[in-house]
Every structure is written in structure tokens, then in C-alpha cells.
Chain A
Amino acid sequence: MPNAAIRTEGLTKRYGEVVALDHLDLEVAQGEVVGYLGPNGAGKTTTIRLLLGLSQPTEGRGAIFGLDCHRQPVETHRRVAFVAGEANLWPSLTGAETLALLGRVHGHFDEVYRDELIDQFDLDPTKKVRAYSKGNHQKVILIAALMVRPDLLVLDEPTSGLDPLMEQAFRHCIGEARERGQTVFLSSHIMSEVEALCDRVGILRDGRLIEMGTLAEMRHLSALSVEATLDGPVPDLSAVPGVSAVEADGKVLRCQVRGSIDPLLKALAATGVTELLSREPSLEELFLAQYGADGHAG
């Protein structure tokens, strides 16, 4: 059995009293594109810094392609590339110099592909980092990570500051990486990005992984949004099983349905229905349902 790209067992990080990450058990198979979501302070960056060996775990361990993240950082890093949400580059180097430096430190990289990426992301590599905008900083570290074609890409809010066109280019590159069989671990606050790219999604809250599955599985667990225009006034639906969040606006009904939609249809049959729209929840709605409904702190 091939090693998982990422595997953690009881990975825990405490900062004094704060439990930033609480016994995380996570497994990402090779070739998977996995999204990693969670509100601010949930522990996403903490997880990633532990996986990269930048911080030491309080308990538990993590492995990348079967190699211990803390004991064998150098071996691990040969197969990994990381993009942080903040670029923190050297202001006096140009983009080209930065890319050359980072490529050489990695050991080997595809120069043709680098030039392609520079084109795709529309970066002017002769400019000094000091003169780049925030989005351009981000482009530099994205290109530096992609150009080495790593087996595993670890991305922590990689597109912060990119404009929609560049966001598009980013998605295109991740699509290519997936086709080549690279594994991608993407922490993000941009739901549409995760929805478009990821096979599986993990949701973290207060340092705990509370949900992990494919989008389809997660949708199944959650409610369907229904909007109906009726012939008459909205009837009392409080006794109908599975129906919640009812909003009546004259003849227009909005509600959420969990499980079968049949009882709702039966209850509305007497009034008569002119129009009925039902929609699967977007990832954003799933996410908000997890956090929004029961308050931010949970």
C-alpha cells in the first residue's frame, strides 16, 4: 500500500493554555486535492506549520509520504512545496532573482515551466520585490512552488490578494497539478475556490476536525433550500418533519428541508404550488450552517 501523502496521528499543539490543534487525525491520499476549511483561529495554519516542521508538536505526530515531519524535514521537503498567505520576500531582490534562489535551494526545477508560469501569472520578473504589490508577492511564491512540480503542494490561503483573472490562472494550474497526479492540500477562505478544486473537504473548528468528506457526502448530510410560490397563503408547516427555517412572505415560502422532501410536498398539495425551486447548498452555505447558525464561537 503506498504511503499516504499526509497522515497525522493525534497531532496536538498547545500554546500555553490555548489548544491550537487538538488531536488531529488526518489522512490525505496521494493524488487527492483536499480543501481545509475553518473560521479564523481554527488551527489551519498551525496544522500546516506542524506538517512542515516549522513548529514542534506538543503531542502526536505527522508524516508526509511516510516520512516523519519532525525527524526528517529535509527528506520530506524534497517532495513538498509550500505557499503561505503572506509572502515575506527579500525587498532588494528582483522577482527573477528570488525565483532562481528558491529554485536552487530546492535543487531542481523546470525552467521552461517557470517561464510559462511567469507568463500565465503575468509577472514582471525584472522588478524588485520592494516595488511589487501584494498580489505580485503572492504570485512569486506561487510560481516558486509550482515550478518545482512537487509531489505535494501545501497551500495556506495562497490566493490572498490575487485578482479574479489570476485566481483563474491559479485554478488552472491546480487543475494541471491534479492531472499530473500531484497531491494538493489547500487551506482557504474562498469557498468557490475549494468547491471548484477539491475532491474532499475537511472542516476544522477550535482545533478539532469536525467534518471530513467529499462535497457530495457533506451535502447529503445537510439541508436542501426550497423556495416555492403558492396559490394561496402559506399554511402552518410546524408539524411537517424535516422542515426548518420557514420564512413566509405572502404567497412565497422559503425553507430548509432535511431528509426526504415528500412530507413538505404533501403538506403544500392542498394549497397548490405554482413554482418550486430547490437547490443543493453551496459549500459556503454548508460552512455557514456549521458556524453561522449556532454562533461564531460554536
Chain B
Amino acid sequence: MRVDLGIRARITAPVRPGGSPASVVAALSARKAIRSGVLWGYIFGIAIASSQISYTRIYKTPTQRDALAATYGTNKAMSALFGPAPQLQTVGGFTVFKISMTLMILGAVWGLLTSTRLLRGEEDSGRWDLLLTGQATRRGATAQAIAGLGAGVVVLWVVTAIITVLSGLTSSVKIPASSSLYFALAMVATSVIFLAIGAVTSQLAATRRQAASFGAAFLGVSYALRLVADAGVGLHGLTWASPLGWVEELQPLTSSQPLALLPIVAFTAVLVAVAVHLAGARDVGESIVHDRAHSVAHLGLLSGPTGLAIRLMRATVIGWWVAIAVSALLYGVIAKSAGATISGSLEEMFSKLGATGTGADAVLGLCFLIEAFLIAFVAAGQVTSARAEESGGRVDHFLTRPLSRPSWLGGRLLVALAVLVLSGVGAGIFAWLGAATQHTGLSFTTLLEAGVNLVPPAIVVLGIGVLAFGIRPRWTSIIVYGVLGWSLLLVIVGGIGAINHWVLDTSVFHHMASAPAVHPNWEANGIMTAVGLATALVGGLAFRRRDLQGE
């Protein structure tokens, strides 16, 4: 009898995995968000500092700076791509021009992925069921998790701000600390907004992936609205129609306009309130947007794991392809007019950014770096989704049936390679279509080759990912995104010119020629492809011999 009572008493005791039950969820999500915020804060800070330092090194004289401003400050195609560039004579204006759009988008992606992971992802994994049997209500738990995310974004701002202020204090840069703080704030503003957007889509969607893709669609529309607003076609008012536009209107380091914080704060507050409200209006694990519970069987692709992988990844991959195609098309369209204004010192700047030559091909060489990054991102996603099949225990269904590990992994890798090659080809074709509308004069084969040229770095990422998957499966995602982040950072920072080439060599993008600005280096591409495939092979062999491992 006594034993019985003891057990019952234990069951009814509140669940308290550390800390008081009132703040468990906040603490858990804060811990994870802060960890990520520190890492990305460094990346943001270093990217900002390196732009500032590279500017002061490359553009030393007022003449050089005036030339830069004369050509770029008025180039509407460039402003459509990277945002307006009003004060290129100053280091502040250049910093905004060079880095702010990249950081705004990275920040938005960070916010979206972090909040959907910590809200929807945690919920899908069933951890919330445990917490919610404690004292937290659904709404309370969501509010707590959002508070935790808030802590993460504050840390992102603090780390970014510290590095930005330090860089601003150097004698050559000379930006007052208050301006640096405001700039850092502007750079994390999209993170704040998209954390809140992720919080809402996490309530609406049925899965984490769906929540992230709703948010990504919102980001895409927002980017397109801003692009049109800055393209100089008389629709400048549209900047006020999208969150990215509001952030742009903050105009840090040039003509600060803190009034633009108003819509940002208001929109975020409304989103948070909506998220918390919706959280209480549904059950754990359920969605607001109803996904049909019943469906007719579609057996077409379901003949094995490879077909299943295609079916499960279809929507995501198509989403990426749309992003790649649309951006390549836009780049093609603007290449001619943007390229027409490149001359003199700009050539040098372009070469520092990774492109050589002049004209439309130089602009596209630069733009294709962005495409290369997108495709490498797709490669990383292919590896992590294979790992997710394992950590979720779903691969057991195949590997306890007459199917070998090499054929399971090999099938997925073939799909991944096909996806990557098609992504590269698509980037080339759509860039050509865009360029052709403007009679840019770049041939189809040149741009097709430039598109295919984007694939080898992605294959290296894929190979490193498979190696990690084979040897340290639990680290797969950290390693593969770490390699990507590091490589991107080196591309951004590479402009300083002070970095040792051994360090630059560790970036997967460093070995890629900036086609179509220059000819693709097929030898380097062959080596990268071979290295990628070889590392994948080693990873595959290791996978054959190891234990399957859950999370």
C-alpha cells in the first residue's frame, strides 16, 4: 500500500525540470535562442566591421569616394537589389549599402527559423505535452516561449552592437557609438519582426516546416515589394507597405528616422498578441489552418524510400526553385543597367567583392554568389532531412526490411545531386531569360555554364554533410550549417584583403570562379565535385557500420 501511495504522489507532483514551473518554458526557449543569438551576433558584427574597414582601405581619397557615389548612388538597379545608397561618400553610407540588405534578410531568416523551431518544433516533438501537464496554460506557455525568443534577439543585438561600436571607434571609421547602436538595432529589426511572424505561423500551420514556409512566403513578398519600391519606377510609397521597407526607412548611419520604429513595434506587438491568442484557441499539436485529415491514396511515388523522399521534399524543393528562378530572373533584368555604370574604382570594388571585369557580366558574377549560397543551402537541407529521417526513427522502417543502408542513402544522394544540378541549370536559364528581355547580349551558353558553375560548392557542402552524418550523426546539422555560415562569412569578410589565403581556402565558395564575370574554372569545379563525392562516400561507408542514433 505504501509503495502505491509513493508512486501516486510522485506522479501528481508538478513537473519542474529546473526552475519554478512558472518560467520553465521561457527558460528553455531563452537558453536555445540566446545560444543562437550569440553566434549570429558575431557573424553580423564581423560582417559590419569588415565592410567598414574594407571601405576605409579601398576608398581613401574624396575623389575615389565621389566617383563611387556618382555611379552607385544613382543606379536604380543596384538600389533595387541592395537598397538605396544615398551617402556613399561616407563609411556609414557605404556600410548600409554593402551589408544591410544581406543582414536584414539573414536576420529575417534567423528569426523565422528560430521561432518556428522553438515554438512549433518543440511542440511537434512532444516536449510541450510534458510541460503543459505542469502548471503552464497553452497561452502562458506560448507567451513564455516568445519571451525566451525575445531574450535571444536582445542578445543578438547586444553582440552585434558591441562589435559595431568597437569598429566605429577605430580612428579610420569614426562612427559615434550612438549611431552604431542605432544601426545595430536596425540590423536586428527584421529578426524581431520575423520572430513574431514565426510565432503566428507556428499557430496556423500543422508542422514546423509548414510554419517556416508560410513565413518564408511572407518574406518573399516583402522583399519583392521593397524591390519594386526602390527600383525607381515611381512607386517609392510602397516602402511603407512591407516590414523590410520599414527597416530600410530607419535609415541608420545616413539620415536616421526613428519614426519608422513605430510600425515595426506596433506590427510586432500585434503579431505577438495574435500568436498568444491563437495558441489558446487550439489544441496542442493542432493547427488553425485545417489540413484535411482524410485523403485519397496517391501511390505513384511510394515504391520505396527514394520515391518517398521525392514526395516529402517536393514542396520544399519547389519553393527553393521558385526563389532561385525569381531571383535569377531579376538579376538578369537589372544586369545591363547596373553594369553600364561600372567603371574605374568600381571595378576594383567589384573585384574585392568577388567579381572581375565590367558590365553586365560583372554584375551577374556578383549576383550569382547569392545564387551559389542558395544552392548550397539546398544541399545542406538535403543532408539534414536524411538525418531527420534517422533521428525520428522513420528510417528503421526501411532498414528492418530488405533494403540495405547504401541503397537507402545512395538513393537520397542521387535525388539531392539531381536537385542541385537542376537548381544550377535553372539559375542559368532564368538569368538568361531576364538578361534577354533587356538585350543584355550575354549568350545562353555563357549563362547556362555560369549556372552549372554554382553546383560544385554545393556538392562539397553535401559531401561534408554526409561525412558528418556518417561519423557524427548528432552533429550533422551543426556541422553542415556551420560550414555554410563560415563560408558565407569569409565571402563577406574576404573584401578586407587582409585575410590569409589559407583561411579563405576553407570557404567552399572561394574556389568557385565568379562566372559569368570570368570563365568557370572547370578544373577547380572537377576537383570540388570529386572532393564532395569522395567525402560523401567516406560518410556512406561510416554510416554502413554504425548504430542508428536517435536525437
A contact set with B: CB distance below 8 Å:
49, 52-56, 73-75, 77-78, 80-82, 84, 86, 88-94, 96-97, 100-102, 104-107, 124-128, 130-131, 141, 144
Pick the contact of A94: B295, B304, B312, B403 (CB < 8 A).
B295
The answer to the question of B171 belonging to the interface, with a C-beta cut-off of 8 Å to chain A, is no
Q: Are B399 and A104 in contact (CB-based, < 8 A)?
A: no
Docked complex Cα distance between A88 and B551 (Å): 13
Given A90-B394, A107-B402, A54 contacting B547 (CB threshold 8 A): yes
The answer to the question of B1 belonging to the interface, with a C-beta cut-off of 8 Å to chain A, is no
Of residues 5 to 46 in B, which have CB atoms within 8 Å of A's CB atoms?
Answer: none
Q: Are B402 and A127 in contact (CB-based, < 8 A)?
A: no
Pick the contact of B404: A74, A88, A126 (CB < 8 A).
A74
**Beyond the given A88-B396, A104-B303, could you list 17 further A-B residue pairs with CB under 8 A, ordered by the A residue number?**
A54-B547, A73-B399, A73-B404, A73-B405, A74-B403, A77-B401, A77-B403, A80-B400, A82-B396, A84-B393, A88-B394, A94-B295, A97-B302, A128-B295, A130-B207, A131-B293, A131-B294
A144 contact set on B, CB distance < 8 A: 397
Q: Are A128 and B294 in contact (CB-based, < 8 A)?
A: yes
Q: Are A90 and B299 in contact (CB-based, < 8 A)?
A: no
The answer to the question of B522 belonging to the interface, with a C-beta cut-off of 8 Å to chain A, is no
Docked complex Cα distance between A157 and B547 (Å): 21
The answer to the question of B298 belonging to the interface, with a C-beta cut-off of 8 Å to chain A, is yes
The answer to the question of B86 belonging to the interface, with a C-beta cut-off of 8 Å to chain A, is no
Q: Are A101 and B302 in contact (CB-based, < 8 A)?
A: yes
Q: What is the CB-to-nearest-CB distance from B546 to chain A, in angstroms, rounded to a whole number? A: 7
Q: What band does the interface of chain B fall in when counting residues whose beta carbon is under 8 Å from A? A: 20 to 34
Q: Are B294 and A105 in contact (CB-based, < 8 A)?
A: no
Beta-carbon contacts of B315-354 to A below 8 Å, as 1s and 0s?
0000000000000000000000000000000000000000
Q: Are B546 and A105 in contact (CB-based, < 8 A)?
A: no
Q: What is the CB-to-nearest-CB distance from B282 to chain A, in angstroms, rounded to a whole number? A: 14
Shortest Cβ-Cβ A-B pairs, 10 listed: A88-B393, A131-B293, A55-B547, A101-B302, A82-B400, A96-B297, A77-B402, A78-B402, A105-B401, A126-B294
A125 contact set on B, CB distance < 8 A: 297
Q: Are B399 and A53 in contact (CB-based, < 8 A)?
A: yes
> A84's closest neighbor in chain B, by CB?
B396
A97 contact set on B, CB distance < 8 A: 297-299, 302
Q: What is the CB-to-nearest-CB distance from B191 to chain A, in angstroms, rounded to a whole number? A: 29
Pick the contact of B304: A80, A90, A105 (CB < 8 A).
A105
> A148's closest neighbor in chain B, by CB?
B401
The answer to the question of B292 belonging to the interface, with a C-beta cut-off of 8 Å to chain A, is yes
Q: Are B547 and A56 in contact (CB-based, < 8 A)?
A: yes
B402 contact set on A, CB distance < 8 A: 74-75, 77-78, 105-107
Beta-carbon contacts of B396-428 to A below 8 Å, as 1s and 0s?
111111111100000000000000000000000
Given A54-B548, A94-B294, A100-B297, A89 contacting B400 (CB threshold 8 A): no
The answer to the question of B105 belonging to the interface, with a C-beta cut-off of 8 Å to chain A, is no
Q: How many A-B contacts at CB < 8 Å in the complex?
A: 98
Given A55-B547, A107-B402, A94 contacting B297 (CB threshold 8 A): yes
Interface-centre pick from B206, B302, B305, B400 (highest chain A CB count, 10 A): B400
> B294's closest neighbor in chain A, by CB?
A126
A73 contact set on B, CB distance < 8 A: 399, 404-405
Q: Are A105 and B394 in contact (CB-based, < 8 A)?
A: no
B401 contact set on A, CB distance < 8 A: 77, 102, 105-106
Q: Are B397 and A102 in contact (CB-based, < 8 A)?
A: yes
| Secondary structure dominating the interface of A | mixed
Beta-carbon contacts of B275-305 to A below 8 Å, as 1s and 0s?
0000000000000000111111111001111
Q: What is the CB-to-nearest-CB distance from A80 to chain B, in angstroms, rounded to a whole number? A: 7
> B3's closest neighbor in chain A, by CB?
A292
Docked complex Cα distance between A54 and B403 (Å): 12
Q: Are B303 and A54 in contact (CB-based, < 8 A)?
A: no
B545 contact set on A, CB distance < 8 A: 56
Docked complex Cα distance between A275 and B213 (Å): 74
The answer to the question of B308 belonging to the interface, with a C-beta cut-off of 8 Å to chain A, is yes
B contact set with A: CB distance below 8 Å:
206-207, 291-299, 302-305, 308, 312, 392-394, 396-405, 545-548
Interface-centre pick from B294, B296, B398 (highest chain A CB count, 10 A): B294
Q: Are A100 and B393 in contact (CB-based, < 8 A)?
A: no
A75 contact set on B, CB distance < 8 A: 402
A and B contact pairs by CB, cutoff 8 A, 12 listed: A49-B547, A55-B547, A56-B545, A77-B402, A82-B400, A88-B396, A91-B207, A97-B297, A100-B302, A105-B401, A106-B401, A130-B293
Given A54-B399, A54-B548, A88-B393, A130 contacting B295 (CB threshold 8 A): no
Docked complex Cα distance between A100 and B405 (Å): 21
Interface-centre pick from A88, A102, A128 (highest chain B CB count, 10 A): A88
Q: What is the CB-to-nearest-CB distance from A213 to chain B, in angstroms, rounded to a whole number? A: 29
> A51's closest neighbor in chain B, by CB?
B400
A105 contact set on B, CB distance < 8 A: 304-305, 397-398, 401-403
Given A94-B297, A97-B298, A128-B294, A54 contacting B400 (CB threshold 8 A): yes
Q: What is the CB-to-nearest-CB distance from A8 to chain B, in angstroms, rounded to a whole number? A: 17
Docked complex Cα distance between A94 and B207 (Å): 16
B206 contact set on A, CB distance < 8 A: 130
Q: What is the CB-to-nearest-CB distance from B301 to chain A, in angstroms, rounded to a whole number? A: 9
Docked complex Cα distance between A141 and B399 (Å): 14
Given A52-B400, A86-B393, A105-B398, A128 contacting B303 (CB threshold 8 A): no
Q: Are A126 and B308 in contact (CB-based, < 8 A)?
A: no
> B389's closest neighbor in chain A, by CB?
A90
Interface-centre pick from B298, B312, B394, B396 (highest chain A CB count, 10 A): B396
Q: Are A130 and B291 in contact (CB-based, < 8 A)?
A: yes
Docked complex Cα distance between A102 and B405 (Å): 16
B298 contact set on A, CB distance < 8 A: 97
Given A97-B298, A100-B297, A90 contacting B400 (CB threshold 8 A): no
> B549's closest neighbor in chain A, by CB?
A55
A106 contact set on B, CB distance < 8 A: 401-402
Q: Are A104 and B302 in contact (CB-based, < 8 A)?
A: yes
Q: Are A92 and B312 in contact (CB-based, < 8 A)?
A: yes
B297 contact set on A, CB distance < 8 A: 94, 96-97, 100, 125-126
> B399's closest neighbor in chain A, by CB?
A54
Interface-centre pick from A74, A86, A91, A101 (highest chain B CB count, 10 A): A101
Docked complex Cα distance between A158 and B117 (Å): 31
Q: What is the CB-to-nearest-CB distance from A12 to chain B, in angstroms, rounded to a whole number? A: 14
Q: Are B295 and A126 in contact (CB-based, < 8 A)?
A: yes
Docked complex Cα distance between A78 and B291 (Å): 36
> B547's closest neighbor in chain A, by CB?
A55
Q: What is the CB-to-nearest-CB distance from B547 to chain A, in angstroms, rounded to a whole number? A: 4
Docked complex Cα distance between A56 and B546 (Å): 6
